[in-house]
Chain A
């Protein structure tokens, strides 16, 4: 490989290379061997298939919403139907896609391998959590098929408890069940990270991917039960009228908001932190450099997790909370933004004096950094008390969290899927097509959500079926962007499926990356390692890798 090459891709000779005969995919056959597996890698693949399924359902609803908003008049569907669309879009995307996306797929697949372990601490609980996810998903689909639900994903009381005749309890149970799936995943990760690190794998030798999952797992385990409680209370209030949230019975409707956001704000960090882990791995690999300020990045994940629990009231600044408590929560929300800023700058400086190449995962990572910067800084608008009054409940907030969740998290997810695809399947995705997809996604995203900031400051409320005609131009732009974005998301599923059969054989370490997962065969053995490795170097030690490769060459030669 010449020094002036623009890629680090290092594939084995395609004429002689073959997928290893013995691997986790080929070890057993038949549907049951998948459905009853305890192998974290197989469970990760099950998750990957199921969350992709739900992503496209949620995406279809997004498409319908944008189609309706093409014109100011409510002309495509009835208002109730529209309300069901955005409710389903929100519930599916948040609870069935974003929360499990990176942790349950990439995290599940990689964390044991990155730690030098043969599996997660509780393989059966891991399988159980997939079944719970599936049960939650099935219940959600049942609610959809039976006629839908129109609470919005936020279940605002007393609307959800007293004023709607749709399948609220079914949907709440779906989220309740899916929540336990996420609790179990978090629990499994925490125990695995504490107890199953291989010899020599100290806390500060762990890849940052593991650190960010550790932080997210704490949030899952501590936050999700509160969501379960609040949804249970909504269910009880609907079914037997216990009156916790009902002002006519002495209840407090604001209490629900407190409970709900106590989970649902940390939930955004559950969603974004694992994505940040992916970015750390990808940026390091494609700039051939250790992550700048490893400790700062690791601790900023933990700081986000801790602060993340104390900012929930910023969803309620206009709801008649005490002005002084609003002050406290605004200040804390400002503080939680700092660790994210630290990460962005650390990733940027990881590039400095590196040897950078621009494969697809890196393009998605750059997309993440740009869009997350916008998403994060527009979060400052909303954390600023006075500004929040104008912006909250408008399209500005829709744009803000889509920048973070879609521009940030989904970019990170796609970056990670492309990055580890050769490890998971043993085959490469087609490089130029996937670069095209990355660029299309980026352009589509900007076009979809940039206009929403403007229309939000104009005052267009979110969840509106119809809107004043002077907002139409911006909405048309947004819908046009959504179309481009849709193409950007369709492409990967097509070429990734294609690559399963026709992709180039990847070999063990196509990216010449340092992680333990790259030192074993692709796809890995069921037991990951033939013998448990001993970690004798820091994470992202490219010099170690170089020596190791040289040694290998000498022994073979």
Chain B
């Protein structure tokens, strides 16, 4: 063989390491692939049909064997056929695609929430337990994971091709996506929305682990303070607790049990207090004045980062009672929040 052994080995390695089809690593992947193969089938059938028509007619009616053309006006029947059949196939595809879309973008209620903050050019993941990760994401298999994502600057897009999910990460609003990993392993994480110079370096790895490994991982990578505890600290340091004390007589509404409730606004509308609502109230309070309160809350725009807002959201999610807020009020005027973690080093 003329080819050198080294080159040959390199070539073999190169060819065998190349991918042709992405692994299926989430519960949604088989559904996505089923639609994909259906559509490939449709494409192949359509293409073969067109090629057969062109090829067949070209051969049968080429000038050499068919010197004189017969004029045909058209055929309503034929035209109806090739209008209705494609239309039918397209409508089936539409329904199938829509079902898949709603499945991917409707998280189950029992999913575990992880926050993602995108910024030029890195992905920051924040676990509820306070673990932070950059350009990585560790998740347990067998459990639905919801990602609540926001960008700090430009549009990004969180793409997990082996999980068959992707969602735009947008400045100024939360977007969500969910998945359930099925196979332990390490998979690609890409930013797929062009976001400037190092767009192609805004990549990372998602690691799907057995639940017990994930538990071990969370214990090893804890930052000492959960996301909600961090939120409580911000709540105190920004002075939120000065007004939102939970006292009925106070000028600001109580925040205990707010999350997930429906809020009657001063302008008569009713708004659902979800993460987006809480974030927006902090940044644009004048847009969300609850009924019975004066529009006196100042804006915190520019004072709290997206990470901080996430921590506040997470804190308010778990706030069922105003007991600790009032405790902080009476026992201290300083920022000694989060009393349950004594000896903790403040970040």
Residues of A within 8 A of B (CB): 3-8, 74, 79-80, 83, 150, 152, 154, 156, 158-159, 162-164, 247-248, 250, 252-254, 287-290, 292-296, 317-320, 323, 326-327, 330-331, 334-335, 337-338, 341-342, 344-346, 348-349, 351-358, 366, 369-370, 373-374, 377-378, 380-381, 383-390, 392-394, 454, 457-474, 542-543
Closest to A390 in B: B164
Q: Interface majority SS on B: helix, strand, loop or mixed?
A: mixed
When the two chains form their complex, are residues B153 and A163 in contact, meaning their CB atoms are under 8 A apart?
yes
When the two chains form their complex, are residues B196 and A318 in contact, meaning their CB atoms are under 8 A apart?
no
Q: How many residues of B contact A (CB 8 A)?
A: 92
When the two chains form their complex, are residues A464 and B199 in contact, meaning their CB atoms are under 8 A apart?
yes
Report the Cα distance A542→B69, complex, angstroms: 9
The residues of B that contact A387 with a CB separation of less than 8 Å are 32, 35-36, 39, 97, 100
The residues of B that contact A466 with a CB separation of less than 8 Å are 200-201
- The contact of A462 among B36, B68, B192, by CB within 8 Å, is B192
When the two chains form their complex, are residues A351 and B22 in contact, meaning their CB atoms are under 8 A apart?
no
When the two chains form their complex, are residues A473 and B63 in contact, meaning their CB atoms are under 8 A apart?
no
When the two chains form their complex, are residues A389 and B104 in contact, meaning their CB atoms are under 8 A apart?
yes
- Nearest-neighbour CB distance to chain A for B327, whole angstroms, equals 35
When the two chains form their complex, are residues A348 and B42 in contact, meaning their CB atoms are under 8 A apart?
no
Q: A296-B74, A351-B61, A387-B36 are in contact. Are A380 and B93 (CB under 8 A)?
A: yes
When the two chains form their complex, are residues B50 and A288 in contact, meaning their CB atoms are under 8 A apart?
no
The residues of B that contact A5 with a CB separation of less than 8 Å are 63-64
The residues of A that contact B166 with a CB separation of less than 8 Å are 318, 389-390, 392-393
Closest to A467 in B: B200
When the two chains form their complex, are residues B62 and A356 in contact, meaning their CB atoms are under 8 A apart?
yes
- Nearest-neighbour CB distance to chain A for B289, whole angstroms, equals 16
The residues of B that contact A472 with a CB separation of less than 8 Å are 14, 18
The residues of A that contact B18 with a CB separation of less than 8 Å are 470-474
- B8: Cβ under 8 A from any A Cβ: no
- Among B147-201, those with CB < 8 Å from A are 153-155, 157, 159, 161-162, 164-168, 170-173, 175, 188, 190-201
- B323: Cβ under 8 A from any A Cβ: no
- Among B42-96, those with CB < 8 Å from A are 42-43, 46-47, 50-51, 53-54, 57-58, 61-64, 66-75, 78-79, 82-83, 86-87, 90-91, 93-94, 96
- Nearest-neighbour CB distance to chain B for A357, whole angstroms, equals 5
When the two chains form their complex, are residues B167 and A318 in contact, meaning their CB atoms are under 8 A apart?
yes
* Nearest 4 pairs of A and B residues by beta carbon: A386-B100, A459-B161, A384-B97, A247-B172
Closest to A295 in B: B74
When the two chains form their complex, are residues A344 and B50 in contact, meaning their CB atoms are under 8 A apart?
yes
When the two chains form their complex, are residues A469 and B17 in contact, meaning their CB atoms are under 8 A apart?
yes
Number of A-B contacts (CB under 8 A): 317
Report the Cα distance A154→B58, complex, angstroms: 41
- Nearest-neighbour CB distance to chain A for B207, whole angstroms, equals 16
Q: A79-B197, A355-B68 are in contact. Are A374 and B43 (CB under 8 A)?
A: yes
The residues of B that contact A163 with a CB separation of less than 8 Å are 120, 153-154, 196
- Among B254-309, those with CB < 8 Å from A are 284, 301-302
Closest to A254 in B: B170
Report the Cα distance A372→B132, complex, angstroms: 48
When the two chains form their complex, are residues A156 and B154 in contact, meaning their CB atoms are under 8 A apart?
yes
26 A-B pairs with CB atoms under 8 Å apart are A5-B64, A83-B197, A158-B155, A159-B155, A162-B154, A293-B79, A330-B98, A335-B90, A345-B79, A348-B50, A349-B53, A351-B58, A352-B72, A353-B70, A357-B62, A369-B50, A373-B46, A384-B94, A386-B35, A386-B97, A389-B32, A389-B164, A389-B166, A389-B167, A393-B192, A454-B21
- Nearest-neighbour CB distance to chain B for A284, whole angstroms, equals 10
Q: A158-B171, A294-B74, A386-B97 are in contact. Are A457 and B58 (CB under 8 A)?
A: no
- B15: Cβ under 8 A from any A Cβ: yes
When the two chains form their complex, are residues A164 and B167 in contact, meaning their CB atoms are under 8 A apart?
no
When the two chains form their complex, are residues A319 and B170 in contact, meaning their CB atoms are under 8 A apart?
yes
Report the Cα distance A387→B31, complex, angstroms: 10
The residues of B that contact A377 with a CB separation of less than 8 Å are 39, 42-43, 46-47
Report the Cα distance A115→B209, complex, angstroms: 70
Report the Cα distance A288→B73, complex, angstroms: 13
Closest to B45 in A: A377
- B1: Cβ under 8 A from any A Cβ: no
Report the Cα distance A483→B104, complex, angstroms: 40
When the two chains form their complex, are residues B43 and A378 in contact, meaning their CB atoms are under 8 A apart?
yes
**Other 15 A-B pairs with CB < 8 A, given A4-B67, A326-B101:** A79-B200, A83-B199, A289-B69, A292-B75, A319-B170, A327-B98, A338-B83, A377-B46, A383-B94, A384-B39, A384-B93, A392-B192, A393-B159, A393-B192, A542-B71
The residues of A that contact B67 with a CB separation of less than 8 Å are 3-4, 355
Q: A338-B87, A369-B50, A461-B192 are in contact. Are A323 and B61 (CB under 8 A)?
A: no
The residues of A that contact B71 with a CB separation of less than 8 Å are 289-290, 542-543
When the two chains form their complex, are residues A380 and B42 in contact, meaning their CB atoms are under 8 A apart?
yes
- B214: Cβ under 8 A from any A Cβ: no
Closest to B199 in A: A463
